[in-house]
Every structure is written in structure tokens, then in C-alpha cells.
Structure 1
Amino acid sequence: MTARVVMTNTAIPLAAEAEEAFAGLDVGFEMLDAGSPEDLVRITRDADAVITLAEPFTREVLVQLPRCRSVTRFGIGVDNVDLAAATAQGIWVTNVPDANYREVAVHTIALALSVTRKIGFLNRSMHETGHASLALARGTRRPDEQTFGLVGLGRIGRRVATMAQAIGYRVIAADPFTTEESGVELVSFDEVVARSDILSLHVPLTGETRDLVDAGVIERMRDGAVLINVSRGGLVDDAALGRALRAGKLAGAGIDAYVGEPAPLPESSPLRGLEQVLLTPHSAHYSEESFAEIKTKALADVARVLRGERPAYPVNEIPVTESR
């Protein structure tokens, strides 16, 4: 019986790569858009495996997929998949955690340097007038005199730490799951918030981390500090961040993730229009190399599951003998 594999978003071309990945298997591959949970169920109800960009595989959706063996996230974060429900259904959940961590780390440093060195202000003035007063750069400081704080010291956080140290920053980090000696001073979350000149977020979005940086946390940050978020939009209370930026409590922010992706950042966003905020469209992960690697690894794990094998990048645990 032909196995049916569905990519639930047509924004990323995968047909050629899928043909290569599924060579030798009896697989039919389709790319379809799901505009609603009802659409998602309709196009995946008889799928043996699905690949998702950001579509919500909730419990209500998953229980209606009797043939599904795996849900593969095209990227790192799996906050759009109900892991407990998938596990209960005997469905593998996989991601690609190691294809773009270098790109995300570079983007983190690029945002931090661009905000702290006032690149946006200087660039705009040069384009508009051909000149930029050094007054626009007021507040710029040497990295050697600043503390770069990380919330999360996983693969991306460690890479950022190495790069920040090479530039000259003092690096501290809060991560309750890390005890290894990494050359980074490990501190509590409250301490990293209080001590950091640049506070950078590198944690997944979960029930525990949603609105991790709220009004109370922002109030405890150093006056004139900068916030960087390249992880998930739900980690930050954007309204509280906007108020702090307008009031001058914080000097700026670099934001690559926002609530509601992949829909456009709405005009009502409290961050749009603020000159001290650099906004990018969740592009931190992207390079030609990382994109190709994600495609290859995501499809390879789908093929492994269809062959009855354990995936290379499981997020949950399903006994192979019980996977369908």
C-alpha cells in the first residue's frame, strides 16, 4: 500500500528533495496548504507522515489521524505540536535541531551589535542626509565593558557564548539544565536579568516559558539594557517591552520572533515604528546551506519512520515495535 506523506505548507519547495529521499519506497508525496484546523485534518486524515512548518497539530487534530506515524517539524521548535497527544497516539515527533544553530547564533550577535552600536540610526541618517552626527551613536560602549547574558545554554546558546566572548563581552548564563563547565559563568535567572547589558533568549516556548520576559522582569533589567529574542515570540510580553522602550527604560531590542507567525507582524504591534527596535522576519535560521540541510534531514527522518526504523532526531519516544 502506498504511504502518503503530506507537507502542510506550500511555501517551501520540497518535491525534488522528497523524490530523492523516498527513492526505493512506495510513497506518494503532496504539498498542501492548511488554512484552518479543519483544513489540516482534511488534508492529513489519511496521511502516514506529515511535515509541518507552523501548522498547529493539537490533540484535537492528532486524534483524527489514525494512520499517522510521524509529525516532522521543518526546523527546531515543536511548540506547534502537542507532544503528549502525539505520544499517546503512537506518533513520532521529530525536528531538525542541528542544521541552523550557527546561523541563529550569528544573527543573535548581528542584532546585538547593530542595536548597541546604533547602526539603524546611523544608516538612516546617512541615507537621508549623507551625514550622521556622532550624537546618534551616544550610548555606544565597548563590548569589554558589557555583560552579555544568555537565558538558555543549549546548542545555540553555547555558540553565542563563544562568539560573544571572542568579541570581548563578559558572558553569563542562566540554564537550570546545564551544569557543565563551558567557560561561562552560570547564574540564576534573576541574576542574569539584573546583571546583563544585553539579555538574549535561547529557550523553547512552553507553558513554563510563555511570557518569560514580562513587565516585572523588564523592570528588573538594567536601565539602558538591550533585549534580543531569536527564539519564539511568546517568550516576551511585547506590550510591556514596547512601554519600556518608549519610556527609555531599555535602550533597544533586536527581535526575530513574534506571536502569530507566519502571518505579518500587525500594524497594531507595540514594536512597529520604534526606531530603537530592529525587526527581522524569523530569518535568523536562514542560509543557503542550513536550508538545504533542514530539507535533507527532515525528509530522511520521515523515510526512516516509514521503513519502521527509529528516527535520528526524535523529540518524543515511541517503541519502534508499536509505531504504526
Structure 2
Amino acid sequence: MTHRLLVSDTKVIDTEAIREELDASDVRLERTDARMPDDLIDVAAEIDGLVVDANTHVTERVISSLNSLEVVGRAGIGVDNVDVRAAADHGVTVVNVPDYCLDEVSTHALGLMLACVRRIPTFDRAVRDGTWDWTVGRPIDRLQGQTVGLVAFGKIARSLSRKLRGFDVDVLVYDPYVSEPEMAGFDVTKVSFRNLLDRSHVVSVHAPLTNETRGLFDVDAFSSMRENAVLVNTARGGIVDESALHGALVSGEIAAAGLDVREEEPPTATPLSELETVVFTPHVGWYSEASRSELTRSVFVDVLQVLDGGDPDHPVDPESSW
């Protein structure tokens, strides 16, 4: 029996990475640009499997409408765009790729952090405009001896904490689901969210997007941060209220922000885009050629295993917390 597998993800179109597996399987691979539920339902009526990215919305209505659906492969770590509970209720397996791009995202977060702290984009723009003046980026504080706060302490944050050891900074962590014994050996200190905001010169966000974390960085949170603080977000855009962030930057409540993710992707023009105190990248923290190949192989192999009646290596637990 031939299985139909629909791919709604531009990151895993590198099918040459799994050519051998595809040739050995009885799967017909199809592609779509559909991202929203109505569009997805229209094109996926007889689909057995889906492979989706962060911007494809696999809601309960999508899952209940696709009678042939057996498996959803989330090409990435976060599954906030997939109704995992509804999938479980309908007997649909959800898989993700929990161990990919750990080095890439932690390195990207560090890069955004350094770009903001050292005002590198400001100097770059000035030099390109013909201005050779060290004062255009003033003031700049020394990173050494400062405090970096990590919001959530999963695998990416742990990778970043190891990279930060060479910068002689203190590292604080807010994560209600990771105990102090679990943090032992990482040279970090577990604190409350409020304490982290009060003390950190740099705050780096690594939490998944859940009901608990949506809008976590709001007006109140920014008012608790230091005036010279930098916010870095390589997790999910919805964790940060962009209107509140804009207000905090304009009023001087915080100094700068480095954003790889946005509330809306791709983003529309917003006042935030006009601020030179923000460094933007296009949700690219995950990317290297190696991570793309690993992503493709992992998600496709797991999906093919389910379609062949086997157990996947990376099933998503519908009861898991952030």
C-alpha cells in the first residue's frame, strides 16, 4: 500500500539527505505551501502523514478532518503549532526532533547577545554611511563580570551556559520544571522569574510557547529589568509582547534586544522594526548545513517508521510540560 506524505516545510525539502530511505519505502511525497487550517484541510484530505514547520497550524479541526492521518512530523523542537492532545485523542502520532540544532541556536543566541552588547550593527551602519566614530555606539558596558539570565533550562540553554563560561559572567536560570540538583554541574543559579529580571544584564529566552509563557515578557516584566539590560529571544516570538518591548526600548527601560523570532512570521512592518536598538535575524538560529541534514533525516525516518507500523524514536508526550 502506498502512503501519501505531505510536506509543508521549506527547511526539509532537501530530500537527497534521505534518498535511500525514500527509495526503500512505499511513500508518495507531496508538497504544499498551505499553512492555515482551512488551506491544509483542502489539500490533505487523503494524506497519511504530515511534515510541518513552526508556521503550519495543525489544529484539532485539521486533525479531526483528516481521516487517513496517522502521523504528524514536526520538523523542529517546539510543538506549539500542533494540537498534540487532539492528535493523541484521534490516534495520531506526533514526532519532533528534540536534539537537533542545539549548537546552532545556542551559538546564535550568543551572537545576538554580543551584537547587542557591543553595538556591532550600530557601528556597521555608521561605517557604511561614511562615519568613522567610536562614540556612535556609546555607552558600552563590559560584559565580563555581568549577569546573564536564562529563561528555561532545556538542552539549548544548557549548551549556551557552557559557552558562557569563557566570558566570566554569572548565570541565573528561571525554570520551574528543572530542579536545582538537575542544574548541578552547569555553574548556574536557580532563581525566580522576578529575581532573574531584577539582576540580569542580559536575558536570553529559551522556553517553549505555552499558555504559561505566552506574553511572559509584558509591560510589567520590562519594568522590572535593568535600564542597561539586553533581551535576546531565539525561542518563540509569542513569548515577548512586541508592543511592550517597543515601549520599553523607546522609554529606556531596557537598552537593546536581539530577536531571531517574532510574534508574526514573516513579520509585517511594525514600529519595532524602526528601532536601531534591535538586531533582527529571520528565524535562522536553527540553521547550518549539518543541522538541516540532521533535521531532514530525523523527522522523515520517524514518520516513515510510523507509516510502516513501527514505533518512532522521538514521539511527543501530550502530557509533557515546558
Instruction: Report runs of 4+ in structure 1 exceeding 6 Å deviation.
Output: none
Q: Give distance in 2, aligned partners of 1:220 and 1:207.
A: 22
Q: Give distance in 1, aligned partners of 2:116 and 2:94.
A: 37
Question: Residue 65 of structure 2: SS of its match in structure 1?
Answer: coil
Q: Give distance in 2, aligned partners of 1:13 and 1:128.
A: 39
Q: Give distance in 2, aligned partners of 1:45 and 1:82.
A: 18
Structure 2, unaligned runs of 5 or more: none
Q: Corresponding residue for 2:281?
A: 280
Task: Work out which of the residue numbers 196, 202, 207 in structure 1 matches 2:206.
Answer: 202
Pair 176,226 (structure 1): closer, same or farther in 2 beyond 3 Å = same
Pair 9,287 (structure 1): closer, same or farther in 2 beyond 3 Å = closer
Q: Give distance in 2, aligned partners of 1:239 and 1:130.
A: 32
**Which string of whole-angstrom CA distances, capped at 9 and with x for unpartnered residues, describes residues 243-284 of structure 1?**
1101111110000100222x3x211x2310100100110001
Alignment of 1:196-235 (within 5 A): 196-235=200-239
Structure 1 residue 95 corresponds to structure 2 residue 96: yes
Pair 113,38 (structure 1): closer, same or farther in 2 beyond 3 Å = same
Q: Give distance in 2, aligned partners of 1:194 and 1:208.
A: 20
Structure 1, unaligned runs of 5 or more: 319-324
Question: Residue 315 of structure 1: SS of its match in structure 2?
Answer: coil
Instruction: Check the 8 A contact 2:12/2:296 in 1, yes or no.
Output: no
Instruction: Check the 8 A contact 2:117/2:143 in 1, yes or no.
Output: no
Moved more, 13-22 or 234-243: 13-22
**Which string of whole-angstrom CA distances, capped at 9 and with x for unpartnered residues, describes residues 221-261 of structure 1?**
11121100011010001001001101111110000100222
1:294 is aligned with what amino acid? L
Q: Corresponding residue for 1:311?
A: 312
Q: Give distance in 2, aligned partners of 1:26 and 1:120.
A: 50
**Which string of whole-angstrom CA distances, capped at 9 and with x for unpartnered residues, describes residues 151-186 of structure 1?**
011000111111112122111111111121132111
Q: Corresponding residue for 1:163?
A: 163
Q: Corresponding residue for 2:268?
A: 266
Question: Residue 113 of structure 1: SS of its match in structure 2?
Answer: helix
Moved more, 280-289 or 8-17: 8-17
Pair 113,317 (structure 1): closer, same or farther in 2 beyond 3 Å = closer
1:11 Cα deviation after fit: 6.5
Q: Give distance in 2, aligned partners of 1:95 and 1:170.
A: 33
Instruction: Check the 8 A contact 1:62/1:86 in 2, yes or no.
Output: yes
1:83 Cα deviation after fit: 0.9
1:299 Cα deviation after fit: 0.6
1:8 Cα deviation after fit: 2.1
Q: Corresponding residue for 1:190?
A: 194
Instruction: Check the 8 A contact 1:92/1:316 in 2, yes or no.
Output: no
Q: Give distance in 2, aligned partners of 1:120 and 1:39.
A: 39
Q: Give distance in 1, aligned partners of 2:313 and 2:10.
A: 25
In the superposition, the TM-score normalised over structure 1's length comes to: 0.93
1:28 is aligned with what amino acid? R
Equivalent pairs, count: 314
